[in-house]
Amino acid sequence: MKLDSFCVKGSEDKVTTKPHVLPIYATSSFVFEDTQQGIRIFSGEEEGHKYSRYGNPTIDAVSDKLAQMAAYGTEAKVKAYMTSSGMSAIHIALTSLVQAGDAILTQGSLYGGTTELLNTVLSKSNVSSIFTDLRDLSKVEETLANNSNIKVCYFETPSNPALTVLDIEALCAICKSKGVITIADNTFCTPYLQRPIALGTDIVIHSTTKYLSGHGNSIAGAIICQEKFAYQIWNTLKLTGSTCNAWDAWLTDQGMKTLALRMDRHSSNALHLAQFLEAHPQIQKVNYPGLSSHPEHKIAAAQMSNFGGMMSFELKGDLQRGIAFMDKLKICTQAPTLGDVDTLVLHPASSSHLRVSQDMREKNGISDTLIRMSIGIESFEDIKQDIEQALS
């Protein structure tokens, strides 16, 4: 072989013992021993990787870990697929299950991007969305009885950013009795704090960008589903090309190693801050399921092992008062994300929910003075002092 040809060939893998840390398989394709092996793998007769859009050892390893975490403590048979983002996970899951003429039942208190996806993207495929208060189970039953075209019930609990809490087990039982598939966005809690699969949910969504990765350096999503939905979800994911990449999967894997430690600290800091804010004279309302004053506190306590690091609160005053508060923060950071190790603040009405109508925002507790906070793992005293000086 001439030197120029030798340069083109890949270096030989010299691994002799199992690596302690999951390797990054940064390859688009995989080599077959011969044509017959390629035929066997493509036909499904033999297990094997072929192209990273179809599967990749790094991504598959992290996906399997996510599946085991989601089904922990149960005998549920589930599959997990990593996607390019949390939004792509939502889109893939929904488009795998609905078609023209179908309807999706969901809640008004919902992440703004999801609401926009339903109203501006899926609506173009003649898929309608019915928004209702999913906390009202009698209303859910009535809505399902009056709309036989509802195929999916999609929900968040706690919701973003109003932190409303749904009774997952009761909601899923009603939907199951009507043959409606349930999808839960479990980004806020992660499987460490809440496992919707154990409560009867068919499919769980995560933006792994947030708490699962936890360090603000990766964008990816995950779909964990009961096995009966696995093929249609995988096939849609494969054909749309919204798959995760090996680097972001690897970063997610690294982040999950400290998930338990981080979630415990996030939860502790958030509870203490919620209690402080609830007693503050400049605060109108605090939304945190860990507070006994929260309307669904008992439901949250029953289905969550802790109350998480997310909260929102309303300031007394107007829009300018909220902006002034945020601009005065020094330790807490303004950023349109959540679940990082540092404390992050967001003004939903002017950012994440900007394209949601004001009527729908206000109807679901997203006022002009609502501030969403993702409480970090810093010293609680530092977070508290920063909030105090900004309020003053």
CATH number at residue 368: 3.90.1150.10
Checking if the pLDDT of 384 tops 70, the result is yes
Q: Are residues 219 and 331 located together in one domain of the fold?
A: no
State both tokens at 63.
Answer: 């996906």
Checking if the pLDDT of 357 tops 90, the result is no
Cα–Cα distance for residue pair 140/135, rounded to 1 Å: 8
Catalytic residue among 79, 151, 154, 185: 185
Q: Annotated catalytic, 328?
A: no
Amino acid 364: pLDDT: 67
Amino acid 354: pLDDT: 64
Q: Are residues 116 and 214 located together in one domain of the fold?
A: yes
What is the residue range of 115's domain? 35-256
Q: Annotated catalytic, 65?
A: no
Contacts of 54 (CB under 8 A, 6+ apart): 238
> What is the rounded average pLDDT of the residues 43-70?
96
- At residue 355 the predicted structure's pLDDT band, cuts being 50, 70 and 90, is low
> What is the rounded average pLDDT of the residues 321-342?
94
Q: Which of 203, 223, 256 is the last residue of a domain?
A: 256
> What is the rounded average pLDDT of the residues 332-359?
85
Amino acid 380: pLDDT: 98
Q: Are 250 and 236 in contact (CB under 8 A)?
A: no
- At residue 352 the predicted structure's pLDDT band, cuts being 50, 70 and 90, is low
Catalytic residue among 40, 50, 53, 238: 53
Q: Are residues 94 and 243 located together in one domain of the fold?
A: yes
- Stronger pLDDT, 317 or 358, i.e. the higher one: 317
Question: Which has the minimum average pLDDT: 172-186, 311-325, 376-390?
Answer: 311-325
Q: Annotated catalytic, 210?
A: yes
State both tokens at 165.
Answer: 């809490």
- At residue 12 the predicted structure's pLDDT band, cuts being 50, 70 and 90, is confident
> What is the rounded average pLDDT of the residues 91-108?
97
Cα–Cα distance for residue pair 325/257, rounded to 1 Å: 35
Q: Annotated catalytic, 111?
A: yes
Closest residue by Cα to residue 106 from 80, 134, 79, 126:
134
Q: Are residues 245 and 268 located together in one domain of the fold?
A: no
Share of the chain above pLDDT 70, in %: 98
Q: Are residues 209 and 317 located together in one domain of the fold?
A: no
Q: Are residues 295 and 345 located together in one domain of the fold?
A: yes
8 in any annotated domain? no
Catalytic residue among 111, 192, 211, 288: 111
Check which CATH number belongs to the domain holding 160 and give it.
Answer: 3.40.640.10
Q: Are residues 223 and 157 located together in one domain of the fold?
A: yes
The total number of structural domains in the chain stands at 2
- Mean pLDDT (the chain, rounded): 95
Are β-strands 370-374 and 344-346 bridged in parallel, bridged antiparallel, or unpaired?
antiparallel
* Alpha helices by DSSP H, the chain: 3-8, 35-43, 57-70, 86-97, 112-116, 137-146, 168-177, 190-193, 230-240, 246-256, 259-278, 297-303, 319-328, 358-363, 380-391
Q: Which of 256, 283, 310 is the last residue of a domain?
A: 256
Checking if the pLDDT of 351 tops 80, the result is no
- At residue 333 the predicted structure's pLDDT band, cuts being 50, 70 and 90, is very high
- At residue 322 the predicted structure's pLDDT band, cuts being 50, 70 and 90, is confident
Q: Are residues 331 and 363 located together in one domain of the fold?
A: yes
Q: Which of 256, 280, 306 is the last residue of a domain?
A: 256
> What is the rounded average pLDDT of the residues 239-243?
96
Amino acid 130: pLDDT: 98
Catalytic residue among 79, 135, 151, 210: 210
Checking if the pLDDT of 356 tops 90, the result is no
